[in-house]
Amino acid sequence: MRRRRSTELTLTIAGPVILLLVWEVLSRTETINPLFWPPPSSLWETTKTLFLEKDLLGDIGISLYRIIAGFLVGTVPGIALGLVMGLFWPMRIFLMPLASAIYAVPKIAVLPLVIIMFGIGELSKIMIVAISIFFLVALNTMSGVLAIDTQFRDVARNLGASRWELFWTVALPGSLPAIFTGMRLSLGFALVVIVGTEFLAADKGIGFMIWQSYQTLRIQQMFVGLVITGIMGWALTLLLDLIEQVVVPWRTAGEEA
């Protein structure tokens, strides 16, 4: 068991390390153009400079703020709507075409509309994230409710559960795994949308920083932005995993003797 774990760890780290090594070698030998593909080792200095002399931390902070705020604004009503759609079939039938259609629209396409509605300030950035994940969370929550075995409802009713108790003790906990799946997908969406939004309509944030670096041909700086975006996504997913372990302990608990 322990051996398996150490092998897993090695393999996990090996992927990125090999990629970086190959990149480094190709770049240093000028097999690929170092102007566009600067060697990864050179990014370190750039990162330090960005943190110390430019406000990279501020860029990261504002992007994280937009993602998390938008995530909350989108997720909470999304879960609520999903539960309603899952529990009441007329609502499901009524809202389904709308939800599917809106869900299919590329979210960045509604940015102009969002700016018209919410202005060019922070609110529009938060709202574009919220809007893009709202239906994703709602539809996942709904399918989570629908996937709950009807026997659980029978058990609860047989033991005297009211409608309200049925909701709190069966529908909600039963759909939590699906809700978390929806949130995990949403996190990816949120990151894509916020970077895109910051490309187009922001004067701060990690997306803005990447776009500006590209326009001024500071390629190394651009790469730093990309790496940081990746790390942000990874860290947010990790955070969500930790929350899931607390909220949905039965799904994450391993086998016992």
- Residues contributing to the site for another protein (CB under 8 A): 149, 151-152, 154-161, 165, 169-170, 173-174, 176, 248-251, 253-256
Contact 179, 240 (CB under 8 A): no
Nearer to another protein, 108 or 156 (CB): 156
Q: Can you state the angle between helices 122-146 and 111-118, rounded to 10 degrees?
A: 120
Nearer to another protein, 109 or 253 (CB): 253
DSSP string, 9-72: HHHHHHHHHHHHHHHHHHHHTTSS-TTTS--HHHHHHHHHHHHHTS-HHHHHHHHHHHHHHHHH
State the nearest-atom distance from the C-beta of 39 to another protein, in Å: 49
State the nearest-atom distance from the C-beta of 157 to another protein, in Å: 6
State the nearest-atom distance from the C-beta of 89 to another protein, in Å: 16
State the nearest-atom distance from the C-beta of 222 to another protein, in Å: 46
Nearer to another protein, 34 or 174 (CB): 174
52 to 45, 84, 172, 253: CA distances (angstroms): 11, 49, 47, 43
Nearer to another protein, 171 or 232 (CB): 171
State the nearest-atom distance from the C-beta of 253 to another protein, in Å: 5
Q: For residue 47, give every residue at least 6 positions away whose Cβ sits within 8 Å of its Cβ, in sequence order, or none.
A: 56, 224
Nearer to another protein, 155 or 243 (CB): 155
